[in-house]
Structure 1
Amino acid sequence: MSRRVLLIAYHYPPLRGSSGIQRALRFSQYLTEFGWEPIVLTAHPRAYPDKSDDLMVDVPPGVIVERAFALDTSRHLSLAGRYPRAFALPDRWVTWWLGAVPAGMRLIKRYQPAAIWSTYPIATAHKIGATLQARTGLPWIADFRDPMAQDGYPEDPTVWNAFKQLEMRAFKQCRFATFTSPGAIQTYRETYPDLPGNKLVLLENGYDEEVFARAAGQPVTPADKGGRRILLHSGIVYSMERDPTQLFMALGQLKRAGEPLISQLLIRLRATGNDARLQEMAAREGITDLIELAPPIPYADALSEMLNTDGLLVLQGASCNGQIPAKAYEYLRARRPILALTDPVGDTADVIRRAGINTIAPLDNVDAIKAALRQFMSLLVADQAPYASEAAIQAASRRGRTEQFARLLDAATQVS
């Protein structure tokens, strides 16, 4: 007989614009295969900055989804762009806690779940998880994915302190804390050396084979009419963690030097969430003809584009060495050449290198990027750019990750 688990996740359909949706969505989709029945506690869609129904089809019909009261403080509670600090600690969705705690207690009373799971990077999710755990005594798995209170992040000291207090509370109350990269676990082992060794668990992101199968049948996004090779970055381009300044400078220098391979390149930045700044940067470097800023598209269409592009671009700064973008696993599954602009000693580079891809250069080094672009384009034109190994692809399926999660739930609920 299946046991139940309460999944607390802000990132859930119909939210659009975050690859983090896939983690909670696929857990809710596959857990029943491994002996666990999910109950989802998420935010009311009014709290989402952008919505799309394209992933609603993947929410299993039998899964209970409770959409609790929630507001986005910056949009709903501000006056002339200002709002009280207390309305945005630990984040702008703290009002979700007000709605989710009573909703969660009702769900727990009615459905008697055996465990609670909450997932960051919306810190309020852990605030909800911690409150429900304290009130019920149920075992709680706190899914951090990436580190919370880091050196220099969040920049605001008041927000950083709120993150730190919540982080410490989570480690005190949770049965397990899960992370998506070895570097994140190492960071927390050093920060909290007294934590039990088995409390911090690696649970990586992945890709969903069924959605890729659907994507393979989608119409192909038209190629650039100029016949150039398209290098695609799909997803948000953060101003700090994925800052493409050095990449744009490298492209500008190569163009001015008359590098022939660069004239054959078009970098498509899809759904950046930062188009105005990137357009300005491209104009400043004189490379607007090399950069295409493309709008968001439905998820299956985005995967189809990955499957049919010439190459895929990873952007990940050294400040995120202990993090691996969820998109990286989808890139591997797409079986397309990858140019990874990331710190060669970071976890993202390690995943890509272990997949058999060596076209890697640091995101903050103009000369290294220029050399990497020359190498990558030469390999691409010669049809010799490396793809991910089949072993690496098979190891990263979301169904497999869900089985790992189910076994962790088994361990969390064992009576000692």
Structure 2
Amino acid sequence: MVKRVLMVAFHYPPLQGGSGIQRTLAFSRHLPACGWEPLVLTVTPGAHASLAPGGADQDGCIVHRTRALDASRHLAIKGRYPDLLAMPDRWATWLISAVPAGLRLIRRYRPDLIWSTYPIATAHLVALALHRASGLPWIADQRDPMLDDDYPADLRRRRLHAWIEQRVMARCAAVVCTTPGAVVALRERHLRRARCQVRLIENGYDEDAFYNAKKLPASNTHARQPFRLLHSGVIYPSERDPAPLFTALARLHSGGEIGPATFRLVLRASGHDDHLRAMLSRHPGLSSLVELAPPLPYPAALREMLDADALLLLQAANCNAQIPAKFYEYLRAQRPVLALTDAAGDTASALRHAGLDTIAPLDDAEKIAIALRRFVALCRHGQAPLASAQTVADHARSARTRELAALFDAIHHKELP
């Protein structure tokens, strides 16, 4: 008998960028090998501001798309729109089209489970409505925390997020988080709902994507070039503030320890280039060491990771219950990693568990300078730590999908307490 799961996901191709796409796409690709046929309910391409070239990548998976309006692009007048139209997020209108479509999918394909994924909270609202109407067990892929000390900043949105999280904990057969800290925080906020299973299924990397990336031409074709330290992905001003790093680089530069001929920091697809450019302008000469590089297609971005001399990870202490999704891709790239993060957070813990100890606090320029000096020396002598092959394999998305399928099986066979 075919087992089916209805997957409610906003982040799905042809949307370009974002770790949420890779997580859901990998699950939908690998679930059939685990005995589960996925049915994906997502949005039409017009909901996305940025689309990947080549259109949607569905791999034969049944995908049904319904219309969702982006309040900031489709409903705004002179750039402004009522907050009510963006509660709990800018795509709240998706609820109107997704619920009837989901019910039709349920009647036609008779799935055994419903799965939905955050951080677009409307996806959970769609799944909640489908769960109530059908009675099917519901699993919420919560990923990162829906609530934190100062998130969401808007009080009304915070209250709505709290209400949605309460419904998730009250109605779901299981909730999945991507980090140990997120699991603990969710359990502590809902001690009275201990019967709801909260499980850890981390993010990972896609081996097929790296296989395809290796087919591309190498990105470092020059035999003699500066040491290239790469950060690939968004640099959030508060969660990944590089100001102390820039100060450390300026000190090393003024002391003659690094220069344009020997060192290059590449910040690829930061998402905040203007902000970073203003920060760099405060340090004369630093712009010759730091490159603000535009986004690349996903395979090319992975190729660049494979070719970099080393990789940079940034994560502030206010995100201690989160692990950047790129961490897993960095592991697979098998390049040395310098992590600027809080030693007490989940990111540092994951690094140490992988055997990587090249870590310094993100907010301390003096310690960053010391760590960077040591790190570059280790890399140049081939002594920088790398994760073992088994550790890398354990983080593949195919392995994560087997964990998810095992959870589906337990719910389907009513083996969860």
TM-score category of the 2 structures, normalised to the smaller one: over 0.9
* SS in structure 1 at match of 2:281: helix
User: Per the alignment, do residues 165 and 225 of structure 1 end up closer, same or farther by CA in structure 2, a change over 3 Å counting?
Assistant: farther
**Aligned CA-pair RMSD:** 1.7
Partner of 1:69: 67
Letter in 2 for 1:18: G
Partner of 1:195: 193
Alpha-carbon separation, structure 2, partners of 1:135 and 1:198: 20
User: Per the alignment, do residues 198 and 175 of structure 1 end up closer, same or farther by CA in structure 2, a change over 3 Å counting?
Assistant: closer
Partner of 2:269: 271
Say whether the 8 Å CA contact 1:261–1:374 is kept in structure 2.
no
Letter in 1 for 2:2: S
Equivalent residues in 2 for 1:193-272, closer than 5 Å: 193-196=191-194, 199-222=197-220, 227-260=225-258, 264-272=262-270
Letter in 2 for 1:356: G
Q: CA deviation at 1:259?
A: 2.3
* SS in structure 2 at match of 1:14: coil
Partner of 2:34: 34
Say whether the 8 Å CA contact 2:205–2:332 is kept in structure 1.
yes
CA offsets, 1:214-268, max 9 Å, x none? 1111111246797101111111111211121211122122222332478622111
Alpha-carbon separation, structure 2, partners of 1:348 and 1:283: 30
Q: CA deviation at 1:337?
A: 0.4
Partner of 1:313: 312
Alpha-carbon separation, structure 2, partners of 1:213 and 1:2: 30
* SS in structure 1 at match of 2:408: helix
CA offsets, 1:302-348, max 9 Å, x none? 11111111001111111111111111011001000000111111111
Alpha-carbon separation, structure 2, partners of 1:223 and 1:95: 48
Letter in 2 for 1:337: P
User: Per the alignment, do residues 98 and 198 of structure 1 end up closer, same or farther by CA in structure 2, a change over 3 Å counting?
Assistant: closer
Partner of 2:329: 330
CA offsets, 1:127-154, max 9 Å, x none? 1111111111110000110110111011
Counterpart among 275, 283, 286 of residue 285 in structure 1: 283
Letter in 1 for 2:199: V
Alpha-carbon separation, structure 1, partners of 2:146 and 2:79: 26
Say whether the 8 Å CA contact 2:17–2:298 is kept in structure 1.
no
Mind listing any 5+ residue stretches in structure 1 that lack a counterpart?
none
Counterpart among 142, 147, 150 of residue 149 in structure 1: 147
* SS in structure 2 at match of 1:238: coil
The 10-residue stretch of structure 1 (83-92 or 253-262) with the greater mean CA deviation from structure 2:
253-262
* SS in structure 1 at match of 2:323: coil
Letter in 2 for 1:268: V
Equivalent residues in 2 for 1:9-24, closer than 5 Å: 9-24=9-24
Partner of 2:89: 91
Say whether the 8 Å CA contact 1:15–1:51 is kept in structure 2.
yes
Letter in 2 for 1:296: P
Q: CA deviation at 1:55?
A: 7.8
Say whether the 8 Å CA contact 1:55–1:299 is kept in structure 2.
no
Letter in 2 for 1:38: P
Relative to the length of structure 2, the TM-score reads 0.96
* SS in structure 1 at match of 2:356: coil
Mind listing any 5+ residue stretches in structure 2 that lack a counterpart?
none
The 10-residue stretch of structure 1 (247-256 or 294-303) with the greater mean CA deviation from structure 2:
247-256
Relative to the length of structure 1, the TM-score reads 0.96
User: Per the alignment, do residues 226 and 88 of structure 1 end up closer, same or farther by CA in structure 2, a change over 3 Å counting?
Assistant: farther
Equivalent residues in 2 for 1:82-161, closer than 5 Å: 82-161=80-159
CA offsets, 1:140-194, max 9 Å, x none? 0001101101110111111111111111111111110000011111111221112
Equivalent residues in 2 for 1:329-408, closer than 5 Å: 329-408=328-407
**Percent identity at matched positions?**
49
Partner of 2:162: 164
Alpha-carbon separation, structure 2, partners of 1:281 and 1:224: 30
Aligned pairs, number? 414
Equivalent residues in 2 for 1:295-310, closer than 5 Å: 295-310=294-309
User: Per the alignment, do residues 261 and 76 of structure 1 end up closer, same or farther by CA in structure 2, a change over 3 Å counting?
Assistant: same
Does the alignment pair 1:44 with 2:44?
Answer: yes
